[in-house]
Chains A and B, each alone.
Chain A
Amino acid sequence: MILDPQRVQDITRNKASLITAISQLFLSELPAMIDSIELQLEQGDKKALSNAVHRLKSALGNFANTSYYQEISALEISALEAEAQQWRVNWLTAKDKLNTLSAELKQMAGL
């Protein structure tokens, strides 16, 4: 499980309406965050790529389990140094997990 349900319950004090609102907001912003990462990867701007991953990491801090948060955090750091091809492979793995997270979040929020 990529989602950390306990964390979501903590930050929302387990209020159903707030879980729904926060989840909807995250899910609506997620495509733009992914697009931004892929655009920066395409353009080869390492600093901008790291910033785009940072934005995703900030949002994930509210939902994701520690291990996935650290995975994204490592991507943020490696964006500045790693070779683009290897970084892309790691990103695609992480991106798959975003789909899992989205599905888990929808289920938790009843969306």
Chain B
Amino acid sequence: MDVLIVDDDAVTRLALSAALEEWGFVPILAENGEKALKKLEVDTAPHLLIIDWSMPGMSGPELCKTIRKREDGQFFYILMLTGKEGNEAIIEAMEAGADDFLNKPFDHRVLKVRIAAGSRIVRLEQTLNQLASRDALTQCWNRRMIDELFTTSIAESARKRSAFSIMVVDIDHFKIVNDTYGHAAGDVALKHVVNILNTNLREYDQVGRYGGEEFVVLLPATDQNEAWGVAERVRSAIQFQPTLVGDDISIDLTVSIGIAQFDRGRDTNQTTFFERADQALYTAKRSGRNRIICAE
């Protein structure tokens, strides 16, 4: 696990860094609050932080407050180090958003157990986050999360002026699968479809389960023609790779897919954009299923 050390004293940074490495952590170093915030901007930002109280510029408590104001819901466990003594300092640190507090000069054995406790909480938080954002059956994103990613992708596409397309994928006649083979087999089929989606999509594409047998795929930096290529790869893979349930049941599946490319002049919001792709899916269903339709 990565640990961000924020301390203006180079000797303390070096000592902490060596200790953390020995305890199996990966230290990331910042010499002031501003640099620490930069380190927390990246996707792979550390979630366990050791912050010194007194630093030039932004102080430890100010840094804590800034981190706690983030609106992306990310959790950071903050251990504050300080040479200040007394209950007032503890109260100020905790009120600023610190989770734990250690007086300098500190006993490294105490730091070790405090960091271990912090890392357990970060792991627990990550597990909870995973449970809250993933679909329990298929392990792709759940509806809440794919909606969030959808919003972010639209904003990113607008900012970068890049193309952005979505696919709405629905398994054809899925009710018949459940009625014929049972819900357990239906679950295997859903997992099989997600597996095919994951195999045939690119690393930066995102898949979410939107409802029973309906999935939404976000395709950043992709225009409608490229999206069609991706969709056709998925459609044919599902058609020609049946779901195997146990040793003797093979279920043939097909999917219908609606595609839309984000059009800034036309899609006033996320809902209208999604509705165009959903309408294309409806057309695909109505015109015979097992096909791809691009939104007008």
Contact = CB atoms under 8 A, between A and B. Distances in A.
- What interface size band does chain B fall in? 20 to 34
B224 to A, nearest CB: 58
A55 B52 CA distance: 11
A10 B107 contact: yes
Contact of A10 (B11, B83, B104, B108): B108
Contact of B83 (A11, A12, A73): A73
B10 A29 contact: yes
B15 A58 contact: no
A62 B83 contact: no
Contact of B56 (A12, A29, A51, A57): A51
Interface stretch (A18-26, A84-92, A96-104): A18-26
A55 B15 contact: no
A61 interface: yes
Nearest to A57: B83
A95 interface: no
Given A7-B105, A51-B56, A58-B52, A12 B18 contact: yes
Given A58-B8, A61-B12, 6 more contacts: A10-B107, A10-B109, A13-B19, A25-B11, A25-B14, A58-B9
* Top 6 A-B residue pairs of the complex, sorted by shortest distance between their CB atoms: A61-B105, A58-B9, A11-B15, A59-B11, A61-B104, A26-B11
Interface of A: 7, 10-13, 15, 18, 21-22, 25-26, 29, 51, 54-55, 57-59, 61-62, 69, 73
5 contacts: A22-B14, A22-B15, A25-B14, A51-B56, A61-B12
